[in-house]
Chains A and B, each alone.
Chain A
Amino acid sequence: MGKVLFILKRFITMLFTLLIVSFLLFMVLHLTGPDPLTVIIGQKQNITQEARESLRVQYHLDEPLFVQYGIWFKGAVTGNFGMDYIQKMPVTSLIGGRSAVTIGMVACSLLFSILIAIPLGIISALKKNTGVDYVISTLMLILTSIPGFLVAMIMLVILSKAIPGYRSVGMYTNFGEYMARISAPSLCLSFGNIALIGRITRNAMVEQLNSDYIITCEAKGISKRRLILSHALKNSVIPVFTVSAMLVGTSVGISVLVEQIFSLPGLGSLLTTAVLKDNYPIILALTLLMLIIFQVVNLIADIMYTIIDPRIKI
């Protein structure tokens, strides 16, 4: 019961946040940017006054700004984010076609970073202050220090030299091609995260391995494997979870650059072009989408805490 109530409460807060953010963003875009009509008309600036007027009406630009927001909001609630200014296509279909790449990439990169970082963190903690620990720590430091786009560029060069048929442009037609296209950028994206998650894992593990109950476990004579995995690691995952959930947000941000380098048709490139060309409906919809992803991931993390640690009550 408590859990349902908690989730409900969080959903309400989330909707409220979305409302405020969308309103502010809508106003800022329309009040500071160029007139939407010029964006809509684009290259053909010499169209007739009538055509101009009909476009103005079609995009509700003749209404006062508050009413425009109201119209947008009404549509957004029903899942209709309007038409974009440049391709004159529904925003939802533009985003829908491209979100598979970005969401898949962010999910894969998170999976990669967790799969690589947690074992590294555990080894580091077990071999604390030995050569192994120093090597892992140094590697992690190097990984965080190199900017993601640089890794992406180096990786692209290496991949295209090493694998003759490696395609770094164009679309995918089936799942295999999809995975082949997104795996390299996902790995790039995960590099920075590996260091962070690995570091957190190491420190949490070191702390747990020094706690009293670990001595009890040793005295109980359970296997080292069980001691590490079901006691020390299980007690260490909460900070790891927190950081991983926050990294989803930053990964979405960095994916913009990585998508550009790997010329992937993802949300990142959609967003950058939209920002450059003042395509307001897309900017609005994408910002809100990222906000939703970020909040949902955090909500999932919070629910996971209560499953892992019985002391946490929600």
Chain B
Amino acid sequence: MKNMHDNIVEINNLEVEIISPDGLLKAVRGLSLNVRRGETHGIVGESGCGKSVMVKSIMRLHDESKVAYSGNIFVNNKNIMDLKIRNMRKLRGKEMAMIFQNPMTSLSPIMTVGEQILEVLTAKSNISKDEAKKRSLEILEKVGITPGERRYKQYPFELSGGLLQRVMIAMSMVNNPELLIADEPTTALDVTIQAQILDLMKSVQKSTGVSIIFITHDLGVIAEMCDRVSIMYAGKIVESGNILDIFDHPAHPYTKALFESKPKGSDRAERMLTIPGAPPSLYDDIPGCSFALRCKYACPKCHSTSPKKIELDKEHWASCHFSREFFEKKELLHDE
């Protein structure tokens, strides 16, 4: 916050409301987030907590006849909420790019993968078709799809999920964007392929210095990939900080609960811990802390007042009334 130029993405108090057949879905509820230039920032949260809605808002990919935004999103110090959608299109694919969960369905089935990469190049700059094709082949080889010449002419149905995700990465990186949003890029892939894709993303980041927002619900992937991580719950970031801070000193009960529900070792006798209950419905207003109903530390105050952001350390904050106590690993007074 102090130095704006350090941040590639800065989201202030974002609210996203979606008109759906079931009513007004308040998917993002006053969310603030900073992503620093060159870092990999993980976003963790349960399904339906608004992670995807939030990142799609960064690219303004929602159907805007059905979505109301409030708050600000700065990308590269431009408030993209002020941009006309026409200008937004110019930024997409050039300054920011996105890859998705299911590479099998994320590419047009009737166009060769090469052409789909080429299309991004020709849409964004005035290069000749030959030059664009040359660059498309180069990037295909760079993401490990060889021989590029042959793969270029193949259709998505002829490639495996892992290769398609590589194509997606090639396509998103072909114009050297400064921001790459990865919305659960490995969830649909099997474990060995997952590892390869993660390695590829790491090496791409190393060579280009791109900032990555990495959404996942796999804490192991976060530990492997990210510099910083933000924990999301019911449309808000509840805790954010360096990866080590969060893993060593979780200061929000939800973060703590997430770590406790991670499978440990191979001990089958011990039951995996779960978080009781279900996240609150995002159609309703939530008085107080959104996690209070499932929180084992909740006190009357939690149900009535929503907690403020508490700065715990440099770059580490959490929004829980008792964050300071958790952070310092003190016993809570009312803890049974």
Contact = CB atoms under 8 A, between A and B. Distances in A.
A219 B155 CA distance: 20
Interface residues of A, number: 22
A212 B106 contact: yes
A227 to B, nearest CB: 10
Interface string B83-117: 00000011111100110101001111111000000
Interface stretch (B119-127, B216-224, B253-261, B307-315): B119-127
Nearest to B107: A213
Contacts of B90: 221
Interface of A is mostly: helix
A211 B124 CA distance: 23
Nearest to B122: A222
B93 A219 contact: yes
Interface string A217-229: 1111111101000
B102 A220 contact: no
Interface string A271-297: 000000000000000000000000000
A224 B63 CA distance: 13
A231 B108 contact: yes
A222 B100 CA distance: 17
B105 A211 contact: yes
Interface stretch (A56-64, A146-154, A193-201, A305-313): A305-313
Contacts of B168: 216
A231 B120 CA distance: 13
B157 A222 contact: no
B120 A221 contact: yes
Contacts of A219: 59, 61, 92-93, 97-98, 172
A213 B89 contact: no
A211 B89 CA distance: 19
B171 interface: yes
A235 B108 contact: yes
Contacts of A220: 92-93, 97, 119-120, 123, 171-172
Q: Which of B98, B110, B168 has the most CB of A within 10 A?
A: B110
Interface in B50-93: 59, 61, 89-93
Nearest to B171: A220
Contacts of A311: 109-110, 155, 157
Contacts of A213: 105-109
Contacts of B157: 310-311
A311 B156 CA distance: 10
A225 to B, nearest CB: 11
A252 to B, nearest CB: 31
A30 interface: no
A226 B111 CA distance: 13
Interface in A197-250: 211-213, 215-224, 226, 230-231, 234-235
A219 B57 CA distance: 11
Given A215-B100, A216-B100, A223 B123 contact: yes
B11 to A, nearest CB: 18
B107 A216 contact: yes
Interface string B109-145: 1110000000110011000000000000000000000
Interface string B164-206: 0000100110000000000000000000000000000000000
Given A212-B100, A216-B100, A310-B157, A222 B107 contact: no
A43 to B, nearest CB: 62
A311 B111 CA distance: 11
Give the one of A224, A310, A311 with max B CB within 10 A. Answer: A310
Nearest to A127: B65
A309 B110 contact: yes
A310 B155 contact: yes
B121 to A, nearest CB: 10
A309 B109 CA distance: 8
A67 to B, nearest CB: 54
Max chain B Cβ within 10 angstroms of own Cβ: one of A220, A222, A235:
A220
Contacts of A217: 108
Nearest to A216: B106
B175 to A, nearest CB: 9
Given A213-B105, A216-B168, A224 B110 contact: no
Given A212-B105, A220-B119, A220-B171, A234 B110 contact: yes
A222 B120 contact: yes
Contacts of B92: 218-221
A309 to B, nearest CB: 5
A219 B110 CA distance: 19
A229 B109 CA distance: 15
B105 A226 contact: no
Given A226-B119, A311-B157, A221 B89 contact: yes
Contacts of A211: 105
A221 B61 contact: no
A221 B157 CA distance: 23
A222 B105 contact: no
Contacts of B124: 221
B166 to A, nearest CB: 14
B110 A222 contact: no
A230 B123 CA distance: 13
A129 to B, nearest CB: 10
Interface string B293-314: 0000000000000000000000
Contacts of B59: 218-219
17 contacts: A212-B102, A213-B108, A213-B109, A215-B106, A216-B100, A216-B171, A218-B92, A219-B59, A220-B92, A220-B119, A221-B89, A221-B91, A221-B120, A221-B123, A222-B93, A224-B89, A310-B110
Given A223-B89, A226-B119, 8 more contacts: A216-B106, A219-B61, A220-B92, A220-B120, A224-B89, A226-B123, A231-B111, A234-B108
Interface of A: 211-213, 215-224, 226, 230-231, 234-235, 308-311
